[in-house]
């Protein structure tokens, strides 16, 4: 089920934020052509994160760029630029994540692109906005986490500010860009007009925190306080947290402390009868729970808590997760293959359409792999 | 909320789209909020007794009248219609409303909507152009179907807790509801793609997401690397910031605070900071010796202030940032320039501050100062507007 059949996306972006957005568009049925610099291409091709490579290129690149085509063009060369302009004349979406000003200098600003293709959806991701004092700072995930206070939400209060160990700001910015592009495509089909979509990693990082940041804005700007022990959320009461058991770890979400006292047979919790104390005295409660839960196995506690509808779960790592029936029924893994026959196991698009999985076996393109085919198909000169 | 000097095409992209939100808490309602900010009309369909339970779920005991501040944060710019879905008359009215709507979304546990007579197959018969979106915790089949779809539990079960914190730490959760947020955002993507498709095909679609699949997708780089190498992602002994990345990637204590350093070639870093010894590690060693490299750097950076180091890094254009808390961030001209906050006007004349939509369209910042609705406040108006009385009699 290709919801975005016949949508052509010309993608100038690199690394993760932009390419993760175009991957989603590709999985939803759009045709995505990466415009890459000759010789080197998307720098992510050489961004190795492990010794495992796909045809000498980074596994990460192949993960983010499957199901796309690659067209090389030197954007400082007039002949190549003319070819890209011809390609844009047939496009629905142009997207990039260059630093502010770069696309203007290359001759591919929104105004310039709109002159070629008036109904274009032009989408861009910046680090900190297109103007203002931070526009030239590098838009890199960890730096944006550091800037926006995210590390003060994770880890216990005696720990250093703890970043989130996934490139969450890149991924959210890409997600928001996709939302904007799709909304603009909907409008274009309604009234024939294109539009410009802009997202910055700064805006995305702040949106991610909207619940807790709004609390901060309205409570006299009190900064978030992490729990001293078993921390999981600065704004949520005990028992919310992760607890060591005799053989692993147990996550406990919101719950009534007195109910837990009974179920777990933990009389020390008896004095915490006032729900307001479950937040104000959460460190004490969590310490008691932590001391109590480490005495028996995770299975033991789950056997007591789950039948009583207490929100709890065993903490799994990738290996243990993959042996679970609940994981396998989701069929989240799929194989992709490059045109040269390299296979890679990866995850599919998380969205199901009309009950169907959006699997795509097409691997990532080699640099310039589709130059000839695209030149011919679009009659590029 | 438009800017002076914005481009002339300022019609909001989803103008004219009607969304019925049968959702509670965060995942579904955050999707409804985004659709509303993009121009859709969003009506919350709520139970007449209590409504969305988020109404009575405060954080830090903050209330705005009878509702929590949290509810206002997630549900501004929406309407509220109450219906007892177990009453045949009221259900008939809802079905009439669904016949006229573009989108239905819900985050009930699997099977609940079907039991209420609001499953996709039935609604599709009523309105073939309907886009129907469904959020679950763990998908619609398998042993976990009945398990509560709560964010922390999903973080626990998807391996995510082994991405953050250092190697010898216990599993470290994200301190925000990342599963809810991502799943809500992806539901928006699915709904919008289905609406784009409907423009061409004239047909609606069913979109399904689960928090579990959203969190697996979130970890696609980690999982794919794991599949390829067979090894579990390993956090560094200290200063971990991403299990897949080599030194110096991490947050380091300085004499007066903390500083983040992203990917920087070691030779260049040695020169910029004057940290002797870094350069003896080759670029290949940023993975094999990352703990040693990080330790060397950590022991060095503690000797001076963040500002001192940052100046040296920035002079050379290297990727570094001081770690700020929100108060410090708010003081920055770069933050203020982006105008990230917006007011919501409450019925009693007071205002609260909250975040605006992160997406700008045609140069316009999106958002709305309209508050979250009181429970059922729009029921009568909606009944009249869509002629629902007819359906129940």
CA distance B147 to A345: 28
- Residue from B355, B184, B1 nearest A206 by CA: B355
CB contact under 8 A, B322 and A146: yes
- List A200's β-bridge partners, or say none: A126
- List A10's β-bridge partners, or say none: A33, A94
Identity of the residue in B69, B173, B333 whose CB atom sits nearest the CB atom of A232:
B173
| Structure confidence at residue B99 as a pLDDT band (50, 70, 90) | very high
CA distance A5 to A369: 22
Chain B CB contacts of A189 under 8 Å are: 196, 199-200
**What are A355-374's pLDDT values in tens digits?**
999 999 999 999 999 999 99
- Contact between residue B244 and residue B164 where contact means Cβ atoms under 8 Å apart: no
Best to test chain A binding among B138, B156, B222, B327 (most A CBs inside 10 Å)? B156
DSSP string for residues in B87-128: SHHHHHHHHHHHHT-SEEEE-PPTTHHHHTT--HHHHHHH-T
Q: End-to-end CA distance of chain A, in Å?
A: 34
3-class DSSP assignment, residue B33: helix
CB contact under 8 A, B217 and A50: no
Tokens, residue B154: 């999903």
Judge whether A119 is closer than 8 Å to chain B, CB to CB: no
Judge whether B121 is closer than 8 Å to chain A, CB to CB: no
Neighbouring residues of A159: CB distance < 8 A, sequence distance ≥ 6: A226, B165
Q: Which residues of B are catalytic?
A: 242
Best to test chain B binding among A123, A142, A279 (most B CBs inside 10 Å)? A142
Tell me the backbone φ, ψ of residue B103, rounded to 5 degrees: -135, 135
Q: End-to-end CA distance of chain B, in Å?
A: 42
If one compares B229 and A180, the residue with the highest pLDDT of the two is A180
Q: How far is B193 from chain A (nearest CA, A)?
A: 6
Q: What is the largest CA-CA distance in chain B?
A: 84
CB contact under 8 A, B221 and A233: no
pLDDT of residue B5: 38
How many Cβ atoms sit within 10 Å of the Cβ of residue B54?
21
Judge whether A304 is closer than 8 Å to chain B, CB to CB: no
Tokens, residue A98: 């260059």
Judge whether A359 is closer than 8 Å to chain B, CB to CB: no
Identity of the residue in A215, A319, A328 whose CB atom sits nearest the CB atom of B60:
A215
Judge whether B76 is closer than 8 Å to chain A, CB to CB: no
pLDDT of residue B18: 98
DSSP string for residues in B210-233: EHHHHHHHHTHHHHHHHHHH-PPP
pLDDT of residue B229: 84
Neighbouring residues of A271: CB distance < 8 A, sequence distance ≥ 6: none
Chain B CB contacts of A356 under 8 Å are: none
Tokens, residue A227: 């729990």
- Contact between residue A126 and residue A173 where contact means Cβ atoms under 8 Å apart: no
CA atoms lying within 13 Å on the CB side of residue A182: 33
Mean pLDDT of the A337-352 span? 96
Strand boundaries in chain B, DSSP class E: 18-22, 41-46, 63-64, 67-68, 79-82, 103-106, 131-136, 205-210, 250-253, 258-261, 320-322, 341-345, 351-355, 360-361, 364-365
Identify the H or E element spanning B273: helix B266-273
Chain A CB contacts of B332 under 8 Å are: 133-134
Burial, A275: exposed, middle or buried (Cβ in 10 Å; 0-12, 13-18, 19+)? Answer: exposed
- List B259's β-bridge partners, or say none: B252, B322
- Contact between residue A108 and residue A12 where contact means Cβ atoms under 8 Å apart: yes
Judge whether B55 is closer than 8 Å to chain A, CB to CB: no
Chain A CB contacts of B31 under 8 Å are: none
% of chain B at pLDDT higher than 70: 97
How many Cβ atoms sit within 10 Å of the Cβ of residue A84?
25
Judge whether B359 is closer than 8 Å to chain A, CB to CB: yes
| Structure confidence at residue A235 as a pLDDT band (50, 70, 90) | very high
Q: What percent helix, strand, coil does chain A show, rounded to 5?
A: 40, 15, 45
pLDDT of residue B3: 44
CA distance A175 to B146: 29
Judge whether A148 is closer than 8 Å to chain B, CB to CB: yes
Q: How far is B54 from chain A (nearest CA, A)?
A: 12
Q: Please give the interface size between A and B, counted as residue pairs whose CB atoms are below 8 Å apart.
A: 469
CA distance B260 to B14: 39
- Contact between residue A179 and residue B192 where contact means Cβ atoms under 8 Å apart: yes
3-class DSSP assignment, residue B390: helix
pTM here is: 0.97
CA distance B305 to B317: 19
**What are B111-151's pLDDT values in tens digits?**
999 999 999 999 999 999 999 999 999 999 999 999 999 99
Which residue of chain A has the CA closest to B220? A347
Of A11, A92, A141, A170, the catalytic one is A170
3-class DSSP assignment, residue B22: strand
CB contact under 8 A, A207 and B357: yes
Chain A CB contacts of B325 under 8 Å are: 149, 152, 223
% of chain A at pLDDT higher than 90: 96
Pairing of strands A249-252, A312-314: antiparallel
Which residue of chain A has the CA closest to B203? A3
- Contact between residue A94 and residue A88 where contact means Cβ atoms under 8 Å apart: yes
CA atoms lying within 13 Å on the CB side of residue A31: 13
What letters, b where the CB count within 10 A reaches 16 and e where it falls short, cover B263-275? bbebeebbebbeb
CB contact under 8 A, B188 and A179: yes
pLDDT at B46 over 90: yes
pLDDT of residue B10: 67
Judge whether A360 is closer than 8 Å to chain B, CB to CB: no
Residue the block writes with tokens 């192949």: A62
Chain B CB contacts of A132 under 8 Å are: 333-334, 337-338
Helix (H) and strand (E) counts in chain A: 16, 15
The overall average pLDDT reported for chain A is: 97
pLDDT at B1 over 60: no
CB contact under 8 A, B9 and A195: yes
Identify the H or E element spanning B120: helix B120-126
**What are A84-95's pLDDT values in tens digits?**
999 999 999 999
CB contact under 8 A, B59 and A231: no
- Residue from B339, B330, B329 nearest B360 by CA: B339
Best to test chain A binding among B193, B197, B225, B366 (most A CBs inside 10 Å)? B193
| Structure confidence at residue A70 as a pLDDT band (50, 70, 90) | very high
pLDDT at A375 over 90: yes
Judge whether B229 is closer than 8 Å to chain A, CB to CB: yes
- Contact between residue B391 and residue B384 where contact means Cβ atoms under 8 Å apart: no
Q: Which positions 52-81 of A are in contact with B (Cβ < 8 Å)?
A: 52, 54, 59-60, 62-64
% of chain A at pLDDT higher than 70: 99
Chain B CB contacts of A142 under 8 Å are: 241-242, 249-251, 260-262, 321
Judge whether B147 is closer than 8 Å to chain A, CB to CB: yes
- ipTM metric: 0.98
CA distance B120 to B97: 15
Judge whether B75 is closer than 8 Å to chain A, CB to CB: no
CA distance A93 to A58: 27
């Amino acid at each position: 089920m290709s919801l975005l059949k016949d949508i052509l996306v010309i993608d100038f972006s690199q690394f993760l934020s932009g390419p993760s957005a175009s991957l989603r568009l590709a999985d939803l049925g759009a045709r995505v052509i990466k415009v890459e610099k000759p010789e080197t291409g998307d720098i992510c091709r050489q961004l190795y994160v492990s010794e495992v490579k796909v045809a000498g290129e980074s596994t990460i690149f192949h993960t983010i760029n499957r199901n796309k085509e690659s067209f090389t063009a030197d954007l400082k060369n007039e002949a190549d630029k003319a070819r890209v302009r011809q390609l844009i004349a047939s496009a629905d979406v142009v997207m990039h994540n260059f630093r502010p000003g770069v696309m203007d200098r290359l001759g591919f600003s929104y105004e310039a692109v709109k002159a070629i293709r008036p109904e274009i959806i032009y989408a861009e991701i910046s680090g900190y906005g297109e103007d203002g004092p931070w526009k030239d700072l590098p838009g890199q995930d960890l730096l944006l986490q550091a800037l926006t206070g995210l590390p003060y939400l994770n880890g216990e209060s005696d720990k250093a500010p703890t970043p989130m160990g996934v490139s969450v700001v890149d991924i959210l910015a890409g997600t928001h860009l996709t939302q904007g592009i799709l909304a603009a495509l909907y409008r274009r089909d309604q009234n024939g007009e294109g539009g410009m979509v802009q997202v910055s990693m700064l805006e995305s990082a702040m949106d991610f925190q909207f619940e807790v940041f709004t609390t901060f804005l309205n409570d006299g700007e009190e900064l978030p306080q992490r729990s001293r022990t078993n921390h999981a959320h600065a704004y949520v009461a005990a028992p919310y947290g992760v607890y060591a058991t005799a053989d692993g770890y147990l996550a406990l979400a919101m719950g009534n402390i007195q109910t837990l006292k009974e179920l777990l047979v933990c009389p020390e919790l008896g004095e915490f009868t006032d729900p307001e104390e479950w937040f104000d005295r959460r460190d004490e409660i969590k310490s008691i729970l932590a001391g109590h839960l480490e005495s028996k196995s995770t299975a033991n506690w789950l056997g007591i808590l789950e039948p009583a509808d207490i929100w709890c779960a065993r903490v799994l790592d990738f290996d243990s997760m993959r042996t679970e029936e609940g994981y396998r029924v989701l069929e989240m893994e799929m194989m992709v293959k490059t045109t040269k026959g390299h296979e890679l196991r990866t995850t599919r698009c998380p969205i199901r359409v009309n009950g169907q999985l959006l699997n795509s076996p097409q691997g990532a393109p080699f640099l310039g792999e589709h130059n000839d085919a695209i030149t011919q198909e679009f009659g590029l000169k | 909320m438009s800017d002076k000097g914005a481009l002339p095409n300022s019609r909001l992209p989803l103008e004219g789209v009607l969304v019925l939100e049968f959702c509670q808490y965060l995942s579904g309602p955050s999707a409804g909020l985004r659709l509303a900010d993009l121009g859709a009309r969003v009506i919350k369909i709520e139970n007449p007794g209590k409504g969305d339970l988020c109404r009575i779920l405060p954080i830090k005991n903050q209330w705005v009248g009878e509702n929590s501040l949290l509810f206002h944060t997630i549900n501004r710019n929406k309407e509220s219609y109450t219906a007892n879905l177990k009453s045949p008359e009221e259900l008939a009215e809802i079905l009439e409303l669904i016949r006229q709507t573009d989108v239905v979304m819900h985050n009930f546990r699997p099977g609940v909507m079907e039991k209420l007579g609001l499953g996709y197959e039935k609604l599709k018969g009523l309105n073939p152009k309907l886009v129907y979106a469904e959020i679950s915790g763990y998908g619609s089949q398998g042993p976990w179907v009945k398990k509560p779809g709560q964010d922390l539990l999903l973080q626990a079960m998807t391996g995510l807790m082994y991405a953050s914190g250092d190697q010898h730490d216990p599993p470290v959760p994200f301190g925000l509801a990342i599963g809810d947020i991502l799943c809500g955002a992806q539901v928006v993507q699915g709904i919008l793609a289905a609406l784009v498709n409907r423009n061409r095909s004239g047909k609606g679609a069913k979109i399904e997401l689960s928090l579990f699949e959203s969190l697996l997708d979130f970890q696609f780089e980690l999982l794919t690397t794991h599949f390829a190498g067979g090894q579990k992602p390993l956090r560094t002994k200290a200063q971990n910031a991403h299990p897949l990345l080599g030194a110096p990637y991490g947050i380091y204590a300085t004499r007066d605070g903390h500083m983040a350093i992203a990917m920087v070639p070691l030779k260049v870093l040695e020169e910029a900071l004057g940290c002797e010894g870094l350069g003896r590690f080759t670029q290949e060693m940023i993975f094999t010796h990352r703990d040693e490299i990080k330790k060397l750097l950590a022991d060095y950076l503690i000797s001076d202030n963040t500002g001192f180091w940052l100046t040296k890094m920035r002079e050379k254009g290297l990727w570094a940032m001081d770690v700020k808390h929100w108060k410090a961030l708010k003081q920055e001209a770069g933050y203020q320039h982006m105008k990230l906050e917006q007011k919501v006007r409450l019925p009693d004349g007071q205002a609260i501050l909250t975040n605006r939509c992160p997406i700008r369209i045609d140069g316009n910042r999106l958002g709305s100062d309209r508050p979250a609705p009181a429970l059922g406040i729009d029921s009568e108006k909606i009944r009249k507007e869509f002629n629902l009385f007819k359906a129940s009699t």
